[in-house]
A and B are shown apart, each in its own frame.
Chain A
């Protein structure tokens, strides 16, 4: 809980809801007749509507990327370290849009929403959504906000996949792309991890084939297990080792299955805390979206050819100890972009935090984001102080 809102925070923010009644054709073949997206905005959209930055979230992210919802909040939004006045994604200059993706469980239409046809929760019947579907829904949100072309679209991990897809399918709608700790498609090992996560949920007796809501229960054990597994893969061998080592609960071994090592307690806590904020069906959908993403599939595996339509400038960032989306995977994208003759820069950041590093304000990483976005700002001739163009709701952002 902040006693005072820090000067470099976007302050108290409120989510907004956008309702869409035009049906959305999904990659899986089904359609969503209507849906809503919950989103937040930080900063001010200029009169030309040319200073917008879209934030695409990762597996378990949401629309609340920066600031606080109230003075009682324990923590700010998930990427508060990078978004705010004078921060790398500088809300003094940019208008930041952050949404919860379709299929999510934080306010956008997803498995926990009511299916208008049945008046019941969608549950397992919610259609499979993909990166392509998300990008399509994001273009509609951009239309609604009057944003013809984003100054930049930014995302880490699964978010970076959305950025890639934007650059390929809507090249005229972004000037810059920042793809962080991502991959052109996930590895076999990653699909395997995702499958273990899904199986642990599906095999929970409280899962009821995804219709646990009708049984008034949740597959908390399965979802918790899935998160425990995921959590290990987001950290590095070093960071986990440094944090816990072989630190024990008691002075000597207990020779039982209670918590012996501190890392066990930490993982159980992480798993359990996650089940209180996240929906199991959404988690399964998100992991499938990761598995399916493969833009080069349409070009016979030629990623350079897949990226050929892109016209924006790219920044790729990876982290040395990230073994879930290791630097080599980002380098595949970099090499393909060079082959395709695109404007690309790449920074491999020395970091001990593993995949999670993309959420940390590491100085070199933040400097790269700031430098690239400053450059983007100059390139687009964005005015120092964008002409005030307050829309209703923006008042909440006053500091």
Chain B
């Protein structure tokens, strides 16, 4: 399994109730159901991904996150997860608050825009970074709210969100000690475990 999903897996307690926002083909949920005996649901809008989840027997709901998640009750999940999607929403701060309403805890992963390669791209070339990991141009990218590892920490502080733990992984989604020493500069993907 990918290192980011591996880390998330370690952070989730057995037998918990998990909601995965933008679950794709259900890779993470499948792992959590098989190994942690979680009761999990995924939210997804891509029809093919939804059918793949149905075929695998992973509970999946056809729901557009842009319409919100107000159909879920307060603290109705032990963990709400969102991998690589927060930066695609119009108001990530509001969505984060919603996630923390529905979940007792949350795990969020996002591409770290503060990575040194991005800084060089923008600083020296004067162009918006395009990389293997972020292969979009500024005009067609779904990522409309880029932030850095540090930016997210500040957002949490300002919203009184408690950071339980965090981790950093590289473009191959591997986890090294040196990544966690200088996460804002070296990590390409940031992983945060937060609570109220």
**B49-85, CB under 8 A of A: which get 1 and which 0?**
0111111111111110000000111001000000000
| Contact between B71 and A335, CB atoms less than 8 A apart | yes
CA of A344 to CA of B76 in the docked complex: distance in angstroms? 16
Kindly state the interface size class of chain A when it binds its partner.
20 to 34
Contact status of A374 and B62, CB under 8 A, knowing A338-B41, A347-B50: no
How does the 8 Å CB contact mask read for A357-386 relative to B, with 1 for contact and 0 for none? Answer: 000000010011001101100110000000
Report yes or no: B47 in contact with A345, Cβ–Cβ below 8 A.
no
The answer, yes or no, to whether B87 is at the interface (CB within 8 Å) is no
A341 touching B51 by the CB < 8 A rule?
A: no
Question: A375, B55: Cβ atoms under 8 Å?
Answer: yes
Interface flag for A343 (CB, 8 Å):
yes
Determine whether the beta carbon of B76 is less than 8 Å from that of A339.
Answer: yes
A348 CB-CB contact with B under 8 Å: yes
| B54 contacts A347, C-beta separation under 8 Å | yes
- Smallest Cβ-Cβ distance to B60: which chain A residue: A345
Q: Chain A contacts of B61 at CB under 8 A?
A: 334, 338, 344-346
Question: Given contacts A339-B73, A341-B39, is CB(A371)–CB(B59) below 8 Å?
Answer: no
Q: Is the CB of B62 within 8 A of A347?
A: yes
Indicate if the CB atoms of B57 and A364 lie closer than 8 Å.
no
Write out the residue numbers on chain B whose beta carbons fall within 8 Å of the beta carbon of A371: 51-52, 54-55
Q: Is A375 touching B60 in the complex (CB atoms < 8 A)?
A: no
Report A-chain residues with C-beta under 8 Å of the C-beta of B63: 346
Chain B hits for A343, CB < 8 A: 59
Chain B 16-60: CB-based contact to A (< 8 A → 1; otherwise 0): 010000000000000000000001010000010011111111111
Residue A315 is within 8 A (CB to CB) of chain B in the complex: yes
- Whether A338 lies near B47 (C-beta < 8 A) is no
Closest B residue to A367 by CB, please name it. Answer: B51
> Are B54 and A375 in contact (CB-based, < 8 A)?
yes
**Contacts A338-B41, A347-B62, A364-B47 given; does A315 touch B54 at CB 8 Å:** yes
Residue A80 at the chain B interface, CB threshold 8 Å: no
CB distance from A330 to the nearest CB of B (A): 10
Q: Which residue of A lies closest to B39 (CB)?
A: A341
Asked if A375 meets B51 with Cβ closer than 8 Å, knowing A338-B72, A346-B62, the reply is no
A331 at the interface (CB under 8 A from B): yes
By a CB distance below 8 angstroms, the chain A residues around B41 are 338, 344
Chain A residues lying within 8 Å of B71, measured Cβ to Cβ, are 331, 335
Q: Are A372 and B72 in contact (CB under 8 A)?
A: no
CB closest residue in chain B, given A341: B39
Per the bound structure, the CA–CA distance linking A176 and B64 in Å amounts to: 26
A174–B193 alpha-carbon span in the complex (Å): 40
Residue of A nearest to B58 (CB): A345
Q: A315 contacts which chain B residues (CB < 8 A)? A: 54
A376 CB to closest chain B CB (Å) equals: 9
Q: How far is the CA of A351 from the CA of B59 in the complex (A)?
A: 23
A305 and B167 alpha carbons, distance in the complex (Å)? 40
- A346 x B60 contact (CB < 8 A): yes
Asked whether, in the complex, the Cβ of B53 is within 8 Å of the Cβ of A345, the reply is: yes
Are B57 and A368 touching (Cβ within 8 A)?
Answer: no
A375, B57: Cβ atoms under 8 Å? yes
Taking A335-B71, A346-B62, A347-B62 as contacts, is the C-beta distance between A368 and B54 under 8 angstroms? Answer: yes
A344 touching B39, Cβ below 8 Å: no
Q: Smallest distance from the beta carbon of A51 to chain B beta carbons, Å? A: 18
| Residue in chain A with minimal CB distance to B42 | A345
In the complex, what residue of chain A is closest to B19 when comparing beta carbons? A338
A364 touches B51 (CB 8 A): yes
A364 to B52, CA, bound (A): 11
- Which residues of chain A from 296 to 343 have any CB-CB distance to chain B below 8 Å in the complex? 313, 315, 331, 334-335, 338-339, 341, 343
| Chain B residues, CB < 8 A from A375 | 54-57
Residues of B within 8 A of A374 (CB): 55
Chain B residues near A378 (CB-CB < 8 A): 57
Please indicate which of the listed interface residues B53, B61, B72 has the most CB atoms of chain A within 10 Å of its own CB.
Answer: B61
Chain B nearest Cβ from A365, distance in angstroms: 10
A339 neighbours in B (Cβ, 8 Å): 73, 76
Give bound CA distance, A374 to B56, whole Å: 9
Residue of B nearest to A363 (CB): B47
State the Cβ distance, B57 to closest chain A Cβ, in Å: 5
| A345 near B54: Cβ-Cβ < 8 Å | yes
Known: A313-B57, A345-B59. 7 other contacts (CB 8 A): A343-B59, A346-B61, A368-B50, A368-B54, A371-B52, A372-B55, A375-B55
Q: Can you pick out 6 interface pairs between chain A and chain B where the beta carbons lie within 8 Å of each other?
A: A335-B72, A344-B41, A345-B54, A346-B61, A368-B50, A375-B57
In the complex, the 10 A-B pairs of residues with the closest C-beta atoms, listed nearest first: A371-B55, A348-B62, A371-B54, A375-B57, A346-B61, A367-B51, A345-B60, A335-B71, A345-B54, A347-B62
